[in-house]
Amino acid sequence: MAFKRYIVLLFLGIGIALTSFGQTDWRHKSYPKLMGGQITPAVDFPGIQIYLFLSPECPLCKSYAPVLKSMAVKYASNKFYWITVFPGTFYSPAEIKKYTQKYGLDFSAILDTEKELTQSLSATITPEVVVCNPSGKILYQGRIDNWAWSLSNKRAKITQHDLDDALTQIQSGLPVTNPKTTAVGCIIE
């Protein structure tokens, strides 16, 4: 009986090894940059990584651009790396470049045409933020704040600053008290 269990476990282990053979952790893959070249998160971003999933035509991505730019200044350090991610092929590099220049989003920009990074980080909305530690653990994922409660409805006053709170806690070495929120915006197709 023990021998049969050993054989079953052996074949199960071989099956798992074969299934994952050749697969690469998303942090070690290279993704095309907006300005040419490649970005490999594990190599290029050794600190906290803030992935901003954006779309040049999404109204909320346009509205939140100044907020994101201001936060990047507030948390400017070699510990935080701000990366914009443009999923899919709906927009040309020229359109994306025009958007980033217009709104002053001079962060590293990934063209995620195959949506590999988007799927690896389970992003589904623009704008959506995913904050990871250097080993790829997601520390925060979701909305920037609670200003928009639907694509066309906004609050008069922001009462929850989710991303800002998460980054403050991370910077202080504390666990993020609200690590997952629901992003509001345009669906990533």
Residue (of 104, 107, 102) closest to 86 by Cα position: 107
Residues 6+ apart with CB under 8 A from 107: 52, 72, 82, 83, 84, 100
25-187 folds as Glutaredoxin (3.40.30)
- Sequence spans of domains, the chain: 25-187
> What pTM was computed for the model?
0.87
Cross-strand pairs, 111: 86
Write out the chain's pLDDT in tens, 189 residues. 554 444 333 333 433 333 333 446 999 999 999 999 999 999 999 999 999 999 999 999 999 999 999 999 999 887 899 999 999 999 999 999 999 999 999 999 999 999 999 999 999 999 999 999 999 999 999 999 999 988 788 999 999 999 999 999 999 999 999 999 999 999 998
> Is 134:47 a contact under the CB 8 Å cutoff?
yes
The residue assigned the tokens 């095309």 is 32
